[in-house]
Structure 1
């Protein structure tokens, strides 16, 4: 380990100042330098790891920096050790000196502590039971399906993972018509399934609007909600009729249809009521009714 650190320090100093003499005081601290295995080559410093970032995402970034710098296994172990911060440094207490110098052993312990491989059965269950929630858009549902598939099947080939994601997306759709349409379309990729679902939903909404307008034009019937709105507007706009006069009694304030029957007011006067009614009826010849 000490030899590897010393070698890296000498390479960095010589590449930065090739004509200067290297002394003990001129060697910078290793924690502040960017490791590089080739003199004069721009080095890529890996990000720090505190245990809060998902380990799988961080390892991809670290491996990308290692490939760019051309590090070997020993240099990767040194760089990963120096990249640990905060709580993540506690992992070093569980390692022997030999394990700390071996990159694979260091990654193995970090994977056990911060990785998600031991949670695969949990993600399997979540993916199996994942359905589109009420009010959840197709884009949000598709993004969560893609996340769960990669967590549940991290070592699965890409083509197999795509088929699993498409099937989970179809099984979890809320709308049955959309599910049937996508099943007949046979999408091979998750993005294709999402695009087809969005197109079908847009076409279905357009057809519903057109069919509603066509039904009103053909039947001449106004839906209940529209009819209620029209009645409300008419009631607010049109003035109420006042000074309504009853044809039976001649009083103001009610109509003849609301006037109580004569029998209720004067029981036993049915014949007289008929006679008076005929004399007052405008349709009877010789009626006494005058406007």
Structure 2
């Protein structure tokens, strides 16, 4: 049997007026935003303001905390610097004390005893030893007082208890008693009368004349002391031939005169004695020549 034909539903027709209305409704919904109520808009605005205020407040707190940390860091750095300086000063003081004590224990030099002779020379010895040991004036006075012997020890009885260990009173008293500054005329007369003794070497004569010239002219320039010493050295020589040859060389100082005199004397010994003609000695030490009598100063 033939299959019956399927019945299709009738086509739905839309009128032109209805289609225009639908197009108009769709166009309106696409162009305009959906309507929102005013209460919802106010709520969204408040939320945005609250978020901005929270961010601003948080940023302000961060700036304040950062500024506080900067000041705190600066304060800690200043305290650290002060502590470092204090520590360095304490360490330096401790090192100096340890170095000073170790030097006193291991390297301290003692003063020679002083019995009241040639105070100026002994004072130079005290200065050298004190500088080597690092003594101050009080330490120097204590060491000087403990080194006095013989006549110099009686100086302590003329001073008070405090002045015995003070540098200025102690040295002033010793200078007045044993100093040679006020005895210039006495030493000048001794220097003029100084003559070479029998058997006295040229070096011993020069050393004695240098000392006498220093004591005879205290406070004078060194050039004046050297000139007077050279003149006294030439005058004190016992050998007239040596004296003439040395005077012709015009020495500038006592040491220069001593060096030249020793060279001239060595040449004379090599050539032979000008008194007896034999070698091995100079004319001043010739056994056939009458020796001058020694003079007491």
TM-score w.r.t. the length of structure 2 is 0.50
Bigger fraction of residues in helix: 2
The answer to whether residue 70 in structure 2 is matched with residue 40 in structure 1 is no
The answer to whether residue 214 in structure 2 is matched with residue 166 in structure 1 is no
The answer to whether residue 208 in structure 2 is matched with residue 144 in structure 1 is yes
In the alignment, the residues of structure 1 paired with residue 225 and residue 234 of structure 2 have an alpha-carbon distance, to the nearest angstrom, of 14
The answer to whether residue 194 in structure 2 is matched with residue 130 in structure 1 is yes
**Greater Rg, structure 1 or structure 2?**
2
| Alignment-derived partner of residue 64 in structure 1 | 128
Matches for 1:211-226 after TM superposition, within 5 Å: none
The answer to whether residue 155 in structure 2 is matched with residue 155 in structure 1 is no
* Structure 1: tracts of 5 or more residues without a match: 1-13, 19-35, 214-291
Task: Encode CA deviations 1:33-81: one digit per residue, 9 max, x unaligned.
Answer: xxx9x33333524325352554333322221221123222223223322
Residue-pair matches, total: 181
**1:134 CA displacement:** 4.7
Task: Encode CA deviations 1:233-273: one digit per residue, 9 max, x unaligned.
Answer: xxxxxxxxxxxxxxxxxxxxxxxxxxxxxxxxxxxxxxxxx
Cα pair 1:49 1:88 within 8 Å, conserved = no
Task: Report the 3-state secondary structure (helix = DSSP H, G, I; strand = E; otherwise coil) of the residue aligned with 2:251.
Answer: coil
In the alignment, the residues of structure 1 paired with residue 234 and residue 213 of structure 2 have an alpha-carbon distance, to the nearest angstrom, of 14
TM-score w.r.t. the length of structure 1 is 0.51
Matches for 1:5-20 after TM superposition, within 5 Å: none
Cα pair 2:210 2:229 within 8 Å, conserved = yes
Task: Report the 3-state secondary structure (helix = DSSP H, G, I; strand = E; otherwise coil) of the residue aligned with 1:178.
Answer: helix
| Alignment-derived partner of residue 55 in structure 2 | none
* Structure 2: tracts of 5 or more residues without a match: 1-93, 278-297
| Alignment-derived partner of residue 180 in structure 1 | 244
**1:108 CA displacement:** 0.9
The answer to whether residue 107 in structure 2 is matched with residue 49 in structure 1 is no
Compared CA separation, residues 71 and 198, structure 1 to 2 (3 A): closer
Compared CA separation, residues 134 and 100, structure 1 to 2 (3 A): closer
In the alignment, the residues of structure 2 paired with residue 55 and residue 202 of structure 1 have an alpha-carbon distance, to the nearest angstrom, of 37
The answer to whether residue 267 in structure 2 is matched with residue 203 in structure 1 is yes
- Identify which of 127, 146, 154 aligns with 1:82: 146
The runs of at least 4 consecutive aligned structure 1 residues that moved more than 6 Å come to none
Choose between structure 1 and 2 for higher RCO, CA contacts under 8 A separated by at least 6 residues. Answer: 2
Cα pair 1:50 1:85 within 8 Å, conserved = yes
